Structure 1
């Protein structure tokens, strides 16, 4: 039998079936054989289950983190912090009636990331289409710098931002910022002041706020938008301030002067209701509007020192009357000039007669004033002016305050010339403060730019004059407006009183009779003075119609205009007739 036949026989004998009916009697249980395909299928199912589980876990983690991030407060992770954390906020500045004088507005600043700039030349060319005034060389230098950040332009307008965005320059971005905005522009520039590019106070009440601790809070990061600062209210009345500014602008142009200034002061509280200085500037854009040649950023009212001329005769008269050595019934011989120490003192409007105290004041006699000072004496004269605060630096919130100058040694000639306003230089604001003491009952009250009640003013007031002196000075002030050089300041029904001052300025070491500094010191209503108005005009060149270039013909007219326009706003009602009860009627 062949090998192949034997194999076929053995195979037929070994054949069996797996069913119970096919099992041989006494044979053991059959073995179960699983094929390769079945084993592989089971492993695949296990792997799929593991993968599903893994994906489920991953997605659960991602979902959980998304929920966590959604519920967590935003965190700043960029290298450039938000504007609120880098540029300090400032409180709004308001006038006494709540009108906004200064506030923060949101703006944007343009920056570049030089390492992301593709084509600096193209970027400069495109930017110049929106910002034609940029320095192209400087911008190109910044765009090719090795740093990762460069400022290109601070405080853009929304229109500029939109146009630059439309250019689509890579590496150019915007950063939110704050800008100080002054709605009134130049109207209250010297009073409110201005800030620098970093929103820090540079001058005026803006600087005062920083001096009171605002700058320190900004350094500590406590002046962000999240820490809202209470607005600061000033004593200034924006309506009066507008009047003062308008009169100064008109007067300076009309009389071709190089400067002018005015202040309206509450005689009983020391509150400054309006203060202006010309030339001025726009605090919204100080860098471009401040003229260094004319010193337009100089506050002439509080920071300028001037010889105040004949307005000082008011203080000379008050000194003589208060000393008790002179009374209203006394007279002084002004028939001849006064010769002393090689100098000659004469009257500008010489009457060449014996003058009463009222005549000395009304005719503005230099001779009579010098003799009054001589009666009091050098020591008494110096002490009185110091008592009225005219020789020391006044205390107020405004940082721009000058210290008066006086001769190192007072001699007899010094006292006599100071009596009519030469030899001592002080500020117009100090002069107004001292004049208020002559009108309000004899109380010297330091001026303030913050609201103050009469009771608060009385707590720090110093009595410097006797009651009878005040009454006499009110009489003299009114007489000068009715019959003297202050006639053009009179306003019907408002009972204005005042004193003119025409001072010759020093030119090349000598007094020049053609270069003058004019002033007018007024109070109203004179029967019970509520307000003091001080107006100065520097080097007027054009004469008023039918008048000259003396103080009564320019500073006096300007003071009268301020009083006429502001009296009603200040609550002063006109009074007509002998007893003040008459009314004006028109038909």
Structure 2
């Protein structure tokens, strides 16, 4: 037997059972007679070694292929994550900046607080803090942006780079960029305030020599709301106006938001009502202020026309002008509240005092008259209710020039307000050397002196809050903060009486259109002619304002509304005075913001509250009391004291030209004014032409 047969027979277990196709049959033989077909293959030792080597090589190739597959999948995954799932912004190039010197230590060598130390970045850029309203609404915020710059010396093809950049970001100017990239400089700015998407688009271009710098863009989500209060920033993020300028360093150094006293809800209401009134009466401008009389916090400050704070670069000078603190206007009859308070507090007047308003006053080349005057003697309350210039002028004279100047100085009318706005202006006041008799009289009814509307609001707040003068502020006070410290400028009793006087103006005087049931509004109308270019007054060109406080039984908020050069229309029966154009707007503002501020109208006990505020227009004189004579002019000899009851001088009495009566005698109670009583009858009075209530 051969070796092949030995190998087959010696290893039967290595042979597989023959398949049916491998069995041979002889022709005609039964199936059981089949014999398997056998093939003898001889495998040599070298073949076996070669086969083993191939098997090892195949295993190694499989392992290598698997490794490459894993690496490829990792690269693909990373690319997908970096470009699709979570694209990464390019790392900004570090810019060379000269480090700022560290802050000096205190004189005593004490260690500064952590907040103070953290406020210095020692040359590193920090985000500008946000500005919020008193309720946490965002008024100004900085958004991350990037500045695009390039090194032209690293450019391969400046023209092609400019073309690609302009194609990627269409708002970029291709010609400007090509011109800058063609220079031999090492640093040129190409664009500012790129959005993250624009930055990513440019970065994918792979242009050498193009870099990014991390910057910020200041945004004002509320647009026109409080635009003049907020101000704005320049291209470098530095405050240039308003709160942004006043608190520029604080906003840069401290990351905590700056919370203002402004309430954007109240601000929006005041702006809405002012805008409607401005359009209705075709005024050239308007301003409105709401202030807390207990704390001095300004809840709203509107000046129209205004602008979108996000587009301050295109705002006109008139739109940027803040009439509330920068504009200086003659306050008109709203200043009579100061004159009346001064007279009461100094003891120069009592409620039952009377003032001659029967005739005009001629002094030098000036003539003082009343608008729709009563042409009779008026009691102290009537002077305010009917807004008598003649009565206020004589009231001011009873106090005197020196005391008047001292009073106005204490009330802050001679200086800046101290509010946190850099635009706050300085009042225009006559010097002491020119403060003569005519100035004393005209200032008594709000002419001959120019102050900002916020000056008027601050002074009126002191009249209503018990006699405490507070510094107005644009910053919100913490809820648990103690009451602010103010300066007492008048007696509590004077303030109590003046609150009744202000309420009387709305219930019985020229401020009726500001009445809001349940809020017990008090106030004073004020219409002042504007000064012309040559020093005189421009006829029929007025500033109409209404100064109000509510509720007068417990004063909380002051509301000031002013229209600049309003025009009369059919609804006002030809009048453009404050009672017709400004007082109604103030009433609508009070009705809308009262519930917002947590003050609901007190309608259940309205009669009882009104009884505590009531005061007669013609108070009775206490027994044995008398009014001292008022000296006017410069008499050369003592004037004898008049009798207790003297009839008022006749209107056609002879009077020296340019002179006023030497004294104002005390008179018996005047006859009843039938016209006035009919006008003040309960219930709405019929309106017919120009015979309606005269408004001042």
Range class of TM-score, shorter chain: 0.7 to 0.9
> What is the deviation of 1:191?
1.7
Partner residue, 1:566:
593
What's the secondary structure of 1:373's corresponding residue?
helix
> In the TM superposition, what are the counterparts of 1:464-543 in structure 2 within 5 Å?
464-509=489-534, 510-543=536-569
Please tell me whether residue 97 in structure 1 is matched to residue 138 in structure 2: no
Residue 607 of structure 2, aligned match among 548, 556, 578: 578
Please tell me whether residue 362 in structure 1 is matched to residue 385 in structure 2: yes
What's the secondary structure of 1:174's corresponding residue?
strand
Residue 422 of structure 1, aligned match among 418, 433, 447: 447
Partner residue, 2:250:
214
- Over 3 Å counting, the alpha-carbon distance change for 1:544 and 1:106 in structure 2 is farther
> What is the deviation of 1:522?
0.4
What's the secondary structure of 2:595's corresponding residue?
coil
What's the secondary structure of 1:522's corresponding residue?
strand
> What is the deviation of 1:401?
0.9
Partner residue, 1:395:
418
> Is contact 2:93–2:211 with CA below 8 Å preserved after alignment?
no
Residue 178 of structure 1, aligned match among 216, 220, 241: 216
Deviation per residue, 1:117-143 (Å, 9 max, x gap): 444445545555566666665433322
Please tell me whether residue 265 in structure 1 is matched to residue 288 in structure 2: no
Distance in 2 separating the partners of 1:398 and 1:416 = 33
Residue 193 of structure 1, aligned match among 216, 231, 235: 231
Please tell me whether residue 112 in structure 1 is matched to residue 112 in structure 2: no
Deviation per residue, 1:496-523 (Å, 9 max, x gap): 1111111111122220122111111000
Deviation per residue, 1:517-557 (Å, 9 max, x gap): 11110000011110111122212235361342111222212
Distance in 2 separating the partners of 1:333 and 1:132 = 75
Q: Which has the higher contact order (CA 8 A, sep 6+)?
A: 1
Aligned length: 490
- Over 3 Å counting, the alpha-carbon distance change for 1:453 and 1:527 in structure 2 is farther
> What is the deviation of 1:486?
1.4
Deviation per residue, 1:145-180 (Å, 9 max, x gap): 211221122113345445655766554443332112
Partner residue, 1:306:
329
Deviation per residue, 1:290-329 (Å, 9 max, x gap): 213x2x2122111221111111111111111111111111
Q: Which runs of 5+ in 1 are unaligned?
A: 1-75, 582-587
What's the secondary structure of 2:310's corresponding residue?
coil
Distance in 2 separating the partners of 1:469 and 1:395 = 26
What's the secondary structure of 2:392's corresponding residue?
helix
Deviation per residue, 1:330-376 (Å, 9 max, x gap): 11111110111221101111211111111111111111110001111
> What is the deviation of 1:477?
1.0
> What is the deviation of 1:214?
3.1
- Over 3 Å counting, the alpha-carbon distance change for 1:90 and 1:79 in structure 2 is closer
> Is contact 1:89–1:199 with CA below 8 Å preserved after alignment?
no
Distance in 2 separating the partners of 1:116 and 1:459 = 62
Distance in 2 separating the partners of 1:395 and 1:473 = 26
What's the secondary structure of 1:426's corresponding residue?
coil
- The alignment yields a C-alpha RMSD, in angstroms, of 2.6
> Is contact 1:349–1:365 with CA below 8 Å preserved after alignment?
no
Distance in 1 separating the partners of 2:443 and 2:170 = 57
> Is contact 2:553–2:609 with CA below 8 Å preserved after alignment?
no
Partner residue, 1:345:
368
What's the secondary structure of 1:154's corresponding residue?
strand
> Is contact 1:235–1:271 with CA below 8 Å preserved after alignment?
yes
Deviation per residue, 1:406-449 (Å, 9 max, x gap): 11220000111111111111111111011000000000011111
* Structure-2-length-normalised TM-score: 0.66
Please tell me whether residue 80 in structure 1 is matched to residue 95 in structure 2: yes
- Over 3 Å counting, the alpha-carbon distance change for 1:253 and 1:129 in structure 2 is farther
* Structure-1-length-normalised TM-score: 0.78
Once the two structures are overlaid, the 10-residue window that deviates more, 248-257 or 359-368, is: 248-257
Distance in 2 separating the partners of 1:265 and 1:451 = 12
What's the secondary structure of 1:418's corresponding residue?
helix
What's the secondary structure of 2:572's corresponding residue?
coil
Partner residue, 1:447:
472
What's the secondary structure of 1:261's corresponding residue?
strand
Distance in 2 separating the partners of 1:502 and 1:259 = 15
What's the secondary structure of 2:277's corresponding residue?
helix
Distance in 2 separating the partners of 1:317 and 1:124 = 72
What's the secondary structure of 1:276's corresponding residue?
strand
